[in-house]
Amino acid sequence: MALFDDVRNIIVEQLHVPPEKVMMEAKFIEDLGADSLDTVELIMAFEEKFDLQISEEEAQKLDTVGKAVSYLEGKVTT
């Protein structure tokens, strides 16, 4: 699925983790080693890639790969 690939590429580049680790259940901080700046940069990268704005409130909820993918699927297809 193209969107998941895009999201995975962004995560791999940002967090320097191998693609295999980027599973839907993976938590950015606990599983993929993101620090607080990483999570902000990830959100900014998603915003840039998919040309949208993600509010602070919404960004807080996106703590796993799966949640980010679902959120972006919702925004991009509408």
Partner 1 sequence: MLLNGNVALVTGGASGIGEGIAHRLIKEGAKVEIGDVDEKTGEVTARTLGENARFVKLDISAEDQVNDIVAQIFNEHARIDILINNAGITNDKLLLRMAKEDWQRVIDINLTGTFLVTRAVMKHMIKQRYGRIINIASVVGLIGNPGQTNYSASKAGIIGFTKACAKELAGRNITVNAIAPGFIETRMTDNLTDEVKEQYKQAIPVKRFGTVDDVAALTVFLSSADASYITGQVICVDGGMVM
Catalytically active residues are 35
How far apart CA 66 and CA 56 sit, in angstroms, is 18
Is residue 55 part of the contact set for partner 1 (CB under 8 A)? no
Contact segment (CB under 8 A) with partner 1 among 1-9, 37-45, 61-69, 70-78 equals 37-45
How near is the Cβ of 11 to partner 1 at its closest, in Å?
16
Q: What is the DSSP string of the chain?
A: -HHHHHHHHHHHHHHT--GGG--TT-BTTTTT---HHHHHHHHHHHHHHHT----HHHHHH--BHHHHHHHHHHHHH-
User: How many residues lie near partner 1 (CB under 8 A)?
Assistant: 5
Token pair of 70 as six digits? 């679902």
Is residue 41 part of the contact set for partner 1 (CB under 8 A)? yes
With CB under 8 A as the contact rule, the residue among 2, 18, 20, 37 that binds partner 1 is 37
- Nearer to partner 1 by Cβ, of 42 and 65: the residue is 42
